[in-house]
Structure 1
Amino acid sequence: MMNVRGGGDRTWLVAVAASLWGLSALWRGPLAREFEPLAVVLWEHVVLAVLVLPWLVPAVRRLRTATWRTRLAVLIIGAGSSALATVLFTAAFRVGDPITPQVLQKLQPLIALLLAALLLGERLRRGFWLFCGPALIGAWLLTFPEPLSVSLASATAQAALLAIGAASLWAAGTVLGRLASAELGFRDLTALRFTVGLITLTVIAMVTGTDVRLSWSAAPSVLLLALVPGLLALVLYYLALGRTAASRATLAELAFPLTAALVGVLAFGTRPGVSQWIGMAVVLASVVALALHEHRAERPAVAQPRLEKVGAASSGA
């Protein structure tokens, strides 16, 4: 997390941004059930790429003078963390319920730490597994209504695997964003992320022959999806992080799964079972406990200090 600067605490703004991520199912779920996930994400990226177009030329100039590692990181962030991850996330809504794919995104910090150990040389201590273990158990309880009777061929399991795949790619974007942020700013990364993502999605659509046509009636939903849980939430989140302590920001981010749960229950009539609510609570508690531990402990679970700049945000959003 970023360090806190003067000018007043903005924990409330982190909560607002996280709540906007939780609204994603309102538009992504219905779109995913009616159209190809690739088509939904491609047009979402069209809107996003147009919105960040004023940032693109300066971003490309800085990228041209960057190291090969930064260029590779940008390519992976755009193609993987933006394009492919969002396709997987959207596909999860097509086969699963509107709550589980979003709450499983809270596994991102755990996955990001594992990837940081592999890619950035950070070393995980034993204490990390004290948080990771319960979170994985909670994810299992959340995903499967009958956790002791599970079929990996079920739609529920497929949706969970798609959502976790998306979370892994977004976590990779966070780690690689740390690397790239040494040479590129937030605006640069955002413009390059969406532009590379759009190019990747276009190539995939052409190679696979996927029908990417949407009806005009879908246009408002795509626009809202790109604007609200997409660009607006991302900008608010980064504006808030600079003036919000890491511990408070982590707590405020709980607005994301809580909003997602409310949307699922109120808008789509989803009724999670008791074990699923328990699983949700365990996942959230584990992630919050890990964040608080890393912020306050003299001996954190990750040996290397965490970089101040964060790359791709988690929403997917």
Structure 2
Amino acid sequence: MTDRTSDRTWLVALAASLWGLSSLWRGPLAQEYPALAVVLWEHLVLVVLTLPWLVPAVRRLRAVSRRTQVSVVVIGAGSSALATTLFTAAFRTGDPITPQVLQKLQPLIAIALAAVLLGERLRPVYAVFAVPALVGAWLLAFPDPLAVSLSSATAALLAVGAAALWAAGTVLGRAASAELRFSDLTALRFAFGLVTLAATAALTGTPVALGSDAVVNILLLALVPGLLALVLYYRALGRTPASRATLAELAFPLSAALVGVVWLGATPSPTQWVGFGVVLAAVVGLALNEQRSRRPSVVAPDRAEDALPVA
């Protein structure tokens, strides 16, 4: 058994909490401009910021296995470009909280992918944290969890699509971290995402021009929940099993709910407050269990290179 003192589940949770701030800037932009345009400019800023990393990252990408190369392309095109576009579009029909908390489905998808691709083994105690977290996230997502409106359902479908792609990115990112540095993954993610978005805009004829009023929001969106969060995330992912990381990412809907209530004027129902408390307890409980228990919930090496031999 490897030493768990280097476990970075807490750092994944910190990065995820920064993602929850995105509604402060993404919401207003989504109401005025096409989602594709918002995400394209966001990626352009991120590519410029990570340009010093990009050239060495491309050089290293050419030397790694085909499996890692494919993983990086999927992460950039799917988990970065398409997922963020779906997520941004969800803000047009949903409230400031629902599109963000519906990433709760990531654990279900990521656990299955991690078992198939990374060979991670889950102990039964994992369900003690995962099941309440998923139930709590559902309660948090809808004011009335038994009555879902058309608008909230549309936003939910868009958010679920984003969640599935982000879950794949969690697993593939850990796999690729066996051969690439976190700075490589960050720069390549944004670069492949930008290429995908530019090609999509050209093929669909989507207008991508933004007004000067959008500049500040784009910059803040790219810097805080974009670059800073991703750097912290990939810094942690190489030493955090994907199954554990994806549950720690539920810090995302927690911070999103706080932003919605404190800054955007959302008023959660009593069941949403219950869900908030349940998810918080599950995330904190998982982190404590992985650090202190003799039997962690996820049986996997701390290092990605030990979990996934290079082909």
Unaligned runs of 5+ in 2: 306-311
Q: Is the 8 A contact 1:104 1:139 kept in 2?
A: yes
Following superposition, the deviation at residue 110 of structure 1 comes to 4.8
Q: What corresponds to 1:86 in structure 2?
A: 84
Contact 1:107 1:283 in 2 (8 A): no
- Cross-structure match for 2:47: 49
Matches within 5 A, 1:1-317: 4=5, 17=15, 19-105=17-103, 107-151=105-149, 154-236=150-232, 256-302=252-298, 304-308=299-303
Q: Which is further off, 186-195 or 234-243? A: 234-243
State the Cα distance separating 1:188 from its structure 2 match.
Answer: 0.8
CA distance in 1, matches of 2:23, 2:302: 31
CA distance in 1, matches of 2:273, 2:114: 30
Q: Which residue identity lines up with residue 36 of structure 1 in the other structure?
A: P
Once the two structures are superposed, what CA deviation does each residue of 1:265-317 show, in whole Å capped at 9, x if it has no partner? 23221111011111222233334434444444444444x4154359xxxxxxx
Shift of 1:83: 0.6
TM-score by length of 2: 0.82
Q: Displacement of 1:254 after TM fit?
A: 7.6
Conserved? CA contact 1:3–1:242, under 8 Å: no
2:72–2:188 contact (8 Å) kept in structure 1? yes
Q: CA deviation at 1:147?
A: 1.9
User: How far did 1:106 drift?
Assistant: 5.1
Secondary structure at 1:23 match in 2 = helix
Kindly tell me: are residues 306 and 100 of structure 1, through their superposed partners in 2, closer, same or farther at Cα, counting changes over 3 Å? farther
Equivalent position amino acid for 2:119 in 1: G
Moved more, 131-140 or 112-121: 131-140
Shift of 1:24: 1.1
Q: Which residue in the other structure is 1:315 paired with?
A: none
Change (3 A) 1:140 1:29: same
Classify 1:206/1:77 alpha carbon distance in 2 versus 1 (closer, same or farther; 3 Å): same
The CA distance in 2 between the partners of 1:43 and 1:101, in whole Å, is 21
Task: Tell me the CA shift for residue 251 of structure 1.
Answer: 11
Task: Report the more deviating stretch, 179-188 or 128-137.
Answer: 128-137
Contact residue 74 and residue 193 of structure 1 kept, 8 A:
yes
Residue 308 (structure 2) aligns with: none
Match of 1:313 in 2: none
Please report how far the alpha carbon of residue 50 of structure 1 lies from its aligned counterpart in structure 2 after TM superposition.
Answer: 0.9
Moved more, 168-177 or 195-204: 168-177
Question: Would the aligned equivalents of 1:48 and 1:194 in 2 still touch at CA under 8 Å?
Answer: yes
Question: Could you tell me which amino acid in structure 2 is paired with residue 47 of structure 1?
Answer: V
Of residues 180-189 and 207-216 in structure 1, the stretch that sits farther from structure 2 once superposed is 207-216
Q: Which amino acid aligns with 1:26?
A: L
Alpha-carbon RMSD: 3.3
Give the drift of 1:130. Answer: 3.9
Q: Quick one: distance in 1 between partners of 2:85 and 2:239?
A: 32
Normalised to the residue count of structure 1, the TM-score between the two structures is 0.81
CA contact 1:106–1:284 (8 Å) conserved in 2 = no
Residues 16-66 of structure 1: CA distance to partner in whole angstroms, max 9, x if unpaired?
755533321110000011111111001000000111111111111111111
C-alpha change, 1:16 and 1:197, in structure 2 (3 Å) is: same
- Does the 8 Å contact 1:144/1:276 carry over to 2? yes
Q: Percent identity?
A: 69
Letter in 1 for 2:82: L
For structure 1, the 5+ residue unaligned runs are 311-317
Between stretches 110-119 and 23-32, larger displacement belongs to: 110-119
